[in-house]
Amino acid sequence: MPSTHVVKAFDDELQTVISKIIQMGGRVEWLFSASVDALLSGATDRAASLIAEDADIDRLEAAIEDEAILVIARRQPVATDLRDLFSAVKIASELERIGDLGKTIAKRAVLLGDDRVVRSARAAISDMANFARNQLKTVLDAYVENDAAKATSVRNADAALDTHYTACFRQILTYMMEDPRNISSCVHLLHVAKSVERIGDHTTNIAEYVLYRVTGEIPRDDRPKGEAIESVLAAEAHRA
């Protein structure tokens, strides 16, 4: 049986990993939020300054991964302790991808500047981003609180984000068809909308690893899905 000293050392190491996840989650949420704000307010300089922030997030992921493997190798944890470490690695990987997508939005914001297409689509983009931001915030709370019900609610709400995405997509496509001079801006903006939709997918993946941490089971059933953009494009193609 391990001594109290070893148990205490393990708990400290595990807490360090969990604290880093919480820290990383906060940074990622902030970067996403700040990038969308910079886009919607046409703040090019602000957007440019955000691009470099993603490197810190990458470093946090590397630190979490290295630390978790070291702890597994050193302490040979089982059951819930192993689940805590495994879910930390998976969640760090999802957060890293959300950070990347936040950086993508900042890059597009730099290129778009104060653009008329962004101004026209502001409400739709803002609604979608707020929804995604709220999902991310809720799943990070669920992680901190080990709250399975909260994680399940995030997983189930992803379909609503798909619907927001489809609305954005439809609107941007209309601007593109109205005036070919809008195409460049619209391609950027479609990419932003897709990035937000993918942030939602990664957020849902985090919800699944929170559920795994709490229950020991990773949900493998299909998630609820919203209206797909394929139907919008098919309808457009039919009209053309």
Contact residues: its own copies, CB under 8 A: 58, 62, 65-66, 69, 72-73, 76, 78-79, 82-83, 86, 89-90, 93, 107, 111, 173, 176-177, 180-181, 183-185, 187-188, 190, 218, 220, 230, 233-234, 236-237, 240
Cβ nearer to its own copies, comparing 29 with 54: 54
Please classify residue 97 by burial: count the beta carbons closer than 10 Å to its beta carbon, then call 0-12 exposed, 13-18 middle and 19+ buried: middle
Cβ nearer to its own copies, comparing 72 with 144: 72
Please classify residue 48 by burial: count the beta carbons closer than 10 Å to its beta carbon, then call 0-12 exposed, 13-18 middle and 19+ buried: middle
Q: How far is the CB of 105 from its own copies (least distance, A)?
A: 13
Cβ nearer to its own copies, comparing 114 with 145: 114
Cβ nearer to its own copies, comparing 69 with 149: 69
Cβ nearer to its own copies, comparing 149 with 234: 234
What's the rounded Cα separation, in Å, for the pair 36 and 126? 8
Q: How far is the CB of 130 from its own copies (least distance, A)?
A: 25
Token reading at 103: 């950086």
What's the rounded Cα separation, in Å, for the pair 79 and 81? 6
Q: How far is the CB of 50 from its own copies (least distance, A)?
A: 15
Q: How far is the CB of 181 from its own copies (least distance, A)?
A: 5
Query: How many Cα atoms sit within 13 Å of 129 on the Cβ side?
Result: 25
Residue with tokens 């098919």: 234
Q: How far is the CB of 7 from its own copies (least distance, A)?
A: 16
For the chain, counts of helices (H) and of strands (E): 8, 0
